[in-house]
């Protein structure tokens, strides 16, 4: 059965609350069916936010059955698209057409995420002749076993938690330096911090900052997150962002900050924790494996050859 659908390109002003809510409902249904979120946190926020993201909305009659968000590229990063199709309307060509259109709209070097790299996404990629340009691992570990090592803070470092907006300038400086290469994380602004501070899940006690002792010079940070139970999965913690100033590498800060966050999440009585890491970042992957994490699934970014 083919689907008689229309793909409309909308700017942020045209993404009315009705359209945004319909798209988010598609995202929710897909998450339940697939067992993994089809769009990243940033992409979901962009559905109803002002910004430069291009929106492609797939409709059958008056019903919205699919969506793609295309984030503009930069000198350091290519344009990135994220796509979802309502499970009820899959297998009828909408996904293939939407991915093809998103890559065309994105321009040279554009990529499209397949979160979980599930079989339907692989099939679409094969039909379009796409190749994998980037892989992002999701790793997980139990917070009960193996036992967490103790947090040992070097004498030259002061470790404390977030104290509000006065910490934002240093946090942004380190984030920009640590993730200058990163397509999504490297572009954070004060607005991104403000938005996350307003989220229900935000807890300042779960943001750890490492300073040069006796100074306000930030060396690195670990921002944790707690995901509510959804899509058949229990509440779970996340090593949300670990950022180390490149000038401070080699001092063991990654391990100290990560462990501080893991102890915090364990003390919140969470059973499990997840994190994301680039598959080709072998040093980070080995560090997390030594801390008891193992590979859970892979997100793949596809592109045209």
Residue 209, SS3?
Answer: strand
Sorting pLDDT into bands at 50, 70 and 90, what band is 271?
Answer: very high
pLDDT tens, residue by residue, 146-192 = 999 999 999 999 999 999 999 999 999 999 999 987 767 878 899 99
The helix/strand/coil state of 106 is helix
Contact, 73 vs 109, CB < 8 A?
yes
Peptide bond into 17 cis (omega under 30): no
Q: How far is 96 from 117, CA to CA, in rounded Å?
A: 15
Residue 230's pLDDT band, with cuts at 50, 70 and 90, is confident
**What is the model's pTM?**
0.83
For residue 70, what is the enclosing H or E element?
Answer: strand 63-71
Q: Residue 262, exposed/middle/buried by CB under 10 A (0-12, 13-18, 19+)?
A: buried
Contact 58, 85 (CB under 8 A): yes
User: How far is residue 305's CA from residue 303's CA, in Å, rounded to a whole number?
Assistant: 6
What does pLDDT average to over the chain? 93
Measured CA to CA, the distance from residue 174 to residue 170 in angstroms comes to 6
Write the pLDDT tens digit of every residue in 109-133: 999 999 999 999 999 999 999 999 9
In the numeric block, the tokens 């080709």 are attached to: 280
């Amino acid at each position: 059965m083919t689907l008689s659908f229309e793909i409309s390109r909308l700017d942020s002003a045209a993404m009315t609350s009705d359209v945004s809510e319909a798209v988010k409902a598609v995202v929710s249904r897909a998450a339940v069916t697939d067992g993994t979120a089809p769009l990243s946190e940033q992409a979901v926020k962009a559905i109803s936010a002002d910004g430069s993201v291009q929106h492609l909305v797939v409709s059958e009659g008056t019903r919205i059955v699919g969506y793609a968000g295309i984030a503009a590229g930069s000198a350091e990063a290519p344009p990135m698209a994220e796509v979802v199709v309502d499970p009820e309307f899959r297998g009828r060509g909408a996904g293939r057409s939407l991915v093809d259109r998103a890559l065309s709209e994105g321009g040279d070097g554009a990529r499209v995420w397949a979160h979980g790299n599930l079989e339907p996404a692989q099939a679409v990629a094969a039909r379009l002749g796409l190749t994998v340009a980037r892989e992002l691992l999701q790793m997980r570990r139990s917070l009960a076993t193996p036992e967490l090592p103790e947090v040992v803070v070097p004498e030259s470092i002061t470790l404390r938690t977030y104290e509000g907006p006065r910490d934002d300038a240093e946090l942004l400086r380190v984030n920009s330096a640590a993730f200058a290469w990163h397509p999504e994380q490297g572009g954070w602004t004060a607005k991104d911090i403000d938005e996350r501070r307003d989220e229900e899940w935000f807890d300042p006690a779960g943001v750890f900052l490492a300073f040069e002792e006796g100074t306000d010079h930030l060396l690195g940070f670990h921002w944790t997150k707690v995901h509510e139970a959804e899509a058949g999965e229990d509440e779970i913690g996340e090593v949300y962002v670990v950022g180390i100033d490149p000038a401070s590498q080699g001092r063991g800060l990654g391990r100290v900050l990560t462990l501080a966050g893991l102890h915090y999440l364990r003390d919140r009585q969470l059973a499990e924790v997840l994190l994301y890491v680039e598959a080709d970042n072998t040093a980070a992957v080995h560090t997390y494996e030594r801390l008891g994490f193992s590979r859970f699934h892979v997100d793949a970014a596809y592109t045209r050859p």
